[in-house]
Amino acid sequence: MKRASKFFASLLGALVLTATVFAAAAASSPAGSWKWTAQGRNGPQENTAKFELKGDVLTGTVTNPRAEAAISGGTFKDGAIAFTTELTFGENKIVIKYAGKLEGDSIKGTIERPGRDGGAATKTDWVATRVK
């Protein structure tokens, strides 16, 4: 009976450790679904993203009320996330740069957009929350 108790106690400990390791790995990766509100030219806009991570390479898509765009040049290293998206409206291409730091279930950083009519780029704060 003592052997069975020790076995089950060891098994339970291993399961708890495994769950803790997987939870820590998930929290330290940006992979998954995210949402945030960002100031657009016509007011606040709800945005979503789906990220995948392979090594240090981040891929996925960003969706806003006007379009869905694939991520390009995505990286993730030491908690820092960076990627760009490109949107096309008619003959106009708009490249948007995202940068941030993963902090648990949030990403905090900046979004840089080109200015209107060739003006200076604008930066806005970006706080994304993991969708569970």
Host H or E run for residue 111: strand 106-113
**Cα distance between residue 3 and residue 10, in whole Å:** 10
**Which of the two residues, 92 and 3, has the higher pLDDT score?**
92
Using one digit for the tens of pLDDT, what is the confidence trace for 84-102?
999 988 888 899 999 999 9
Using one digit for the tens of pLDDT, what is the confidence trace for 11-56?
444 444 343 333 334 449 999 999 999 877 778 889 999 999 999 9
DSSP 8-state secondary structure symbol assigned to residue 132 = -
Q: Please report the pLDDT score of residue 91 as a whole number.
A: 86
Q: Does domain 31-130 have CATH number 2.40.128.20?
A: yes
Its pTM stands at 0.76
Neighbours of 56 (CB within 10 A): 10
